[in-house]
Amino acid sequence: MSVVAMLQGTVETDLSTMRTALSLARRMNAPLRGLCALPDPNSALMVIATPEAAGLTSATTQSVFDMQEEVLSNAREAFRTATEGAESVTCEFKHEVNTVERAAANAAALSEAVVFPRIAADGSQPLNPAFEHILMDAHLPLVLAGTATDVAGPAIIAWDGSNGAARAVRFHLPILKALGDVIIAQNADDLEKDPQREISAPEALSDWLVLQGISSRVMEIEGEVAAGLLAMAKGSGAGLIIAGAYGHSRLTERLFGGTTRRLLKADSAPALALAH
């Protein structure tokens, strides 16, 4: 069992990621790893066998090395700052020579929680390829850091009975057990969509959670789903929302918004645990 914080080499952003990951590690009594993955510059460059290109390739390679050293330095600084005084948690910084997609997928497959910065959902950010790969290609879980530093209970489960929501709950069961208290949030319209699908009923999830030793209560989402979930989190003091990611296609989400994207774009929000 471990918690992994994906670091991108931007001090302020990495501090936020580390603090969310450290809070989870404390509650789960798990070791914490700060992971900064960077590819081998030599393998990323095309070698052209001419004297002129040889000098250009050498200079470019050195430039990439220098850039990577700056990224690593920033990531280490954020790691040291966030873990200073965290004697109760075993903390380790790791620089992995690998593509960030592969490194993050390996971490997600073998860890109890992998934490990304919230901005990783933005296509212009360096960790976005790993964010997209884990959710949409590898179908593995991840946690996006919240705007608050502490991940405290209760946890809110956005429940509609979908396969994505079910995977999100199962994948993040260790976190749910650590927090111990759960709110099952549901939009009443979800039950009306397919009344024959009994798993959509919040009582089905509640009964399953009881078997896992987790207490829960059911609350109805008021108004638009994303806004209702955020209001519920604020009112209950929840530090985590667990949800299935992208119920629609990514193209539809990008054109028309959608619950996932609205949660990701919120200025103030708890940590968000996702699976697709």
Q: Are 238 and 155 in contact (CB under 8 A)?
A: yes
Half-sphere exposure of 237 (CA within 13 A, CB side): 6
Structural domain boundaries enclosing 252: 155-275
| 50: helix, strand or coil | coil
Residues 72 and 185 in one domain: no
- Average model confidence (pLDDT) for the chain? 87
- The one-letter amino acid code at 147 reads T
Residue 255: predicted pLDDT: 35
In a domain, 50, yes or no: no
Tokens 């959710």 sit on residue: 135
In a domain, 55, yes or no: no
Residue 147: predicted pLDDT: 87
| 6: helix, strand or coil | strand
CATH code for the domain of 30: 3.40.50.620
Q: Could you report the per-residue pLDDT of 169-213, keeping only the tens digit for each?
A: 999 999 999 999 999 998 877 666 655 667 888 999 999 999 999
Q: Could you report the per-residue pLDDT of 248-261, keeping only the tens digit for each?
A: 555 444 433 477 77
Pick from 101, 116, 144: which residue ends a domain?
A: 144
Total domain count, the chain: 2
Residue 252: predicted pLDDT: 43
In a domain, 245, yes or no: yes
Give the pairing of strands 155-158 and 240-244. Answer: parallel
| 46: helix, strand or coil | coil
Give the pairing of strands 113-116 and 3-6. Answer: parallel
Q: How many CB atoms lie within 10 A of CB 211?
A: 7
pTM for this structure? 0.89
Pick from 144, 178, 193: which residue ends a domain?
A: 144
Name the token pair of 119. 């901005």
| 74: helix, strand or coil | helix
Q: Could you report the per-residue pLDDT of 123-164, keeping only the tens digit for each?
A: 899 999 999 999 889 999 999 999 888 898 899 999 988 888
